[in-house]
Amino acid sequence: MTMDVVKGRRDVHRLVAAWKAQGLRVGFVPTMGALHEGHLALIDTARAACDRVVASIFVNPLQFGPNEDFTRYPRPVERDTALLAARGCDALFLPDVAEMYPTDADTVVSQRLATEHLCGAWRPGHFTGVLTVVLKLLMQVAPHDIFLGRKDFQQVVVLTRMVRDLDLDLDIRVHACPTVRESDGLAMSSRNAYLGPAERAAAPTLKRALDAVSAAFAAGVRTTAELESAGVSIVERAGVFKIQYLSVVDAATCVPRAVTGTAPEATDVVAVAAMLGATRLIDNVDLSAR
């Protein structure tokens, strides 16, 4: 079957409504494109759970800060379209900025607790951009299921919270899917394309640092400071990263244990963000992963 490519919000809405009228279950995978195996695994998962799958590609200006990489973010649209079609995606929603944000658009979605720390603290306004675009995409596509990657753990928490808080859960189910990694452990990311050879060689250090934290937890370490320093020391030893945070956090809220002063729990997540040269990398693992 050929993949439909639609650019208008009314067109995608009509397409999905027709599928739903036939009793078909519709899954949705939002992306910013520059697709890799992490994105395509979401398509596979959506296909297994649903009758029809819609992907979107939209590099959302609202979620980039003024000094971030919005203009240089890769946009290989033809390649992405071919990858999605080959993977059995049924429709690609490809809105442009004017379709998504008419010049008189004046409404945004914000959230408090779960956006306060981690990437929310380092990227002011980022999650307001993510929340706003994903709410709009959910209204436009109106799927039964949305598939998100745990690689962006705080994003999963924030969007799951929005779906519940705004009662979208009456119609839509959120699925959080595992992080897909390169063979050396580096979490796949469209931004990995920015890395030079020496940076690419150093990048898997972040995953090793996260693993060291969960290994320390498995070995019985129970203080936040000691757990975090097991990871920080590994990142620092590489000598090429600027750490923004390496934090053990409550998985329900993304609030760091160091902020609440409460003891780490087995359900916690350890998350890291660091600059490697000009490239910002993030990753996370379950504290009980080891």
Q: What does residue 203 show for φ and ψ, rounded to 5 degrees?
A: -55, -35
C-alpha 125/C-alpha 148 separation (Å) is 20
Q: CB of 216 within 8 A of CB of 230?
A: yes
**CA atoms of 153 and 37, how far apart (whole Å):** 18
* Residue 144 annotated among the catalytic residues of the structure: no
Neighbours of 14 (CB within 10 A): 11
Least Å from the CB of residue 68 to ligand AMP: 13
Question: How many angstroms separate the CA atoms of 107 and 12, rounded?
Answer: 22
Give the binding site for ligand AMP (CB under 6 A): 31-32, 38-39, 42, 148-149, 151-152, 177, 179-180, 187-190
Residue nearest to ligand AMP (CB): 149
CB distance 228 to 242 below 8 Å: no
Please give the radius of gyration of the chain, using alpha carbons only, rounded to the nearest integer.
19
- The catalytically annotated residue of 13, 36, 39, 117 is 39
Nearer to ligand AMP, 31 or 224 (CB): 31
Fill in the DSSP letter of residue 271. Answer: E
- Residues 122 and 116: their CA atoms lie apart, in Å, by 9
What is the set of active-site residues? 39
